[in-house]
């Protein structure tokens, strides 16, 4: 039966009368918090507090409680002595590859596949990722992340992005691969390219953060300062150089609510599963290949050839070549290697920043390739230029301050 225009509207009115109830709206606490967290005057202090709390939980639980309080003792006091005693012939090549230095007192210093490889993967990185993804999921499912996007929209517009670029940025602190994929939420090709490049350059993954907390806990703040400045500076430059539009943000901001436990568990499992099956093999392979390169004298040769660039321009020891090669496989492993190279505190800061902004790890490289080979080639070109320019700037600042 067909209804006339008036009959359809009468039917709509009748359904509305039966289903919609009108009354006085009562303001709830979640509504008040929702307003406070999107207005700059109150939202920015809240954002600083939230991110500081995020970082405090990350460092205290992942670094101090789990890694230092349990994993270090498990690996160094029990696992390392057992492997060193069980593996025959400490003078053999296989011992060097899989166990590492026979005189090492810790798995971190041994640098074998079964010692440093397993310790980095499960003793440092895995706890860090668990804590990171838990806090990240809670912030996302509670409704805070959309408000953070609205709050940061003005700043991000100045570097060619909009507020929702904060999502791939924060995702990159867990893993750059999903962050590269998340750039698809941005509307224009220009925005996606800028975001992909900035993630590959200036966003250290959760695995790398975990190692940084272990290696340079006192100076990690300076590393972050250089990365944040680089993120803003080169984002602004790319926005000026790359043609294209930067549309306004259009985002649904939900009400605050308590995250659903089952959703939190599922999301954490999805992320940690990817690490266990995708990243761990690269960590072990990275240790193995780097040890082979050391045995073959290749890294020593590259150190001598590239010494003028590293020592004169970047202000770091020539031995940094080895970690940079490792960084293509796993950047967390590269930072772990830096701890075994004698350096001043400022040289260590410069070296860690170099590893971060250097060529992306192979998993990120593949993710960027999936987004388009032209974009990948352009991003690699930008990466090479930024590494050379920004690395030299950091060294120059150290010279001016008298700490290089």
pLDDT tens for each residue of the chain, 404 residues long: 677 777 888 888 888 888 877 777 676 777 777 778 888 888 889 888 888 888 788 778 887 888 888 998 999 999 999 999 998 888 889 998 999 888 888 887 788 889 988 988 888 878 878 888 888 888 888 888 888 888 888 888 888 888 888 888 888 887 787 788 788 878 888 999 999 999 989 999 877 888 888 888 889 999 999 999 999 999 999 999 988 877 777 667 778 888 888 988 888 888 788 778 777 887 788 788 878 888 888 878 888 888 888 889 999 998 888 888 777 767 877 888 888 888 999 999 999 999 999 877 766 777 788 778 888 888 889 988 999 999 999 999 999 988 87
Q: What is the dihedral of CA 376, 378, 379, 384, to 10 degrees?
A: 120
Q: Give the pLDDT of residue 195.
A: 92
Would the CA dihedral through 105, 112, 322, 391 be positive or negative? negative
Structure tokens at 5: 């225009």
Query: What residues contact residue 253 under an 8 Å CB cut-off, 6+ apart?
Result: 34, 38, 143, 146, 147, 150
Tokens (6 digits) for 334: 């590269």
CB 81 within 8 A of CB 115: no
48's tokens: 């600083």
CA distance 87 to 94: 9
> Which of 217, 224, 216 has the alpha carbon at shortest distance from 341?
216
What angle, rounded to 10 degrees, do the helices at 345-357 and 331-338 form?
160
Q: Report DSSP state, residue 164.
A: G
Q: How many CB atoms lie within 10 A of CB 225?
A: 12
Can you give the pLDDT at residue 1? 60
Q: What is the pLDDT of residue 25?
A: 66
CB atoms within 10 A of CB 314: 23
The CA-atom distances, in angstroms, between 353 and each of 187, 290, 391 are 30, 21, 8
Return the half-sphere exposure (C-beta side, CA atoms, 13 A cut-off) of residue 202.
22
Nearest Cα neighbor of 140 from 319, 324, 7, 268 is 268
Q: What is the CA radius of gyration of the chain?
A: 25
């Amino acid at each position: 039966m067909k209804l006339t225009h008036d009959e359809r509207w009468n039917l709509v009115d009748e359904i509305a009368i039966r289903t919609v109830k009108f009354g006085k709206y009562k303001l709830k606490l979640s509504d008040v918090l929702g307003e406070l967290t999107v207005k700059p005057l109150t939202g920015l202090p809240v954002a600083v507090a939230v991110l500081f709390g995020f970082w405090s939980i990350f460092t205290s639980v992942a670094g101090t409680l789990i890694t230092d309080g349990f994993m270090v003792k498990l690996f160094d006091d029990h696992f390392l002595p057992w492997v060193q005693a069980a593996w025959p012939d400490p003078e053999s090549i296989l011992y060097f590859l899989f166990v590492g230095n026979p005189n090492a007192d810790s798995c971190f210093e041994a640098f074998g596949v079964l010692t440093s490889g397993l310790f980095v993967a499960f003793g440092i990185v895995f706890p860090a990722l668990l804590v990171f993804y838990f806090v990240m999921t809670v912030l996302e499912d509670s409704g805070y992340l959309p408000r953070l996007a609205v709050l940061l929209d003005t700043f991000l517009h100045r570097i060619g992005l909009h507020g929702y670029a904060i999502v791939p940025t924060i995702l990159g602190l867990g893993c750059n691969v999903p962050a590269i994929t998340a750039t698809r939420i941005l509307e224009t090709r220009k925005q996606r390219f800028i975001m992909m490049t900035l993630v590959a350059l200036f966003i250290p993954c959760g695995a790398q953060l975990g190692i940084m907390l272990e290696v340079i806990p006192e100076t990690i703040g300076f590393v972050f300062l250089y990365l944040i400045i680089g993120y803003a500076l080169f984002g602004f430059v790319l926005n000026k150089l790359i043609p294209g539009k930067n549309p306004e943000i259009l985002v649904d901001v939900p009400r605050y609510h308590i995250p659903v436990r089952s959703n939190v568990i599922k999301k954490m499992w999805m992320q940690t599963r990817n690490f266990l099956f995708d990243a761990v093999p690269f960590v072990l392979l990275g240790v193995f290949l780097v040890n082979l390169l050391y045995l073959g004298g290749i890294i020593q040769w590259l150190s001598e050839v590239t010494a003028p660039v590293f020592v004169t321009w970047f202000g770091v020891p020539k031995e940094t070549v080895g970690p940079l090669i490792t960084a293509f496989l796993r950047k967390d492993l590269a930072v772990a290697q830096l701890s075994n190279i004698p350096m001043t505190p400022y040289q260590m800061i410069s070296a860690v920043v170099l590893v971060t902004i250097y060529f992306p790890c192979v998993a990120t490289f593949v993710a960027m390739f999936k987004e388009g080979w032209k974009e990948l080639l352009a991003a690699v070109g930008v990466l090479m230029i930024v590494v050379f320019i920004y690395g030299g700037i950091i060294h120059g600042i150290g010279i001016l301050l008298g700490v290089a």
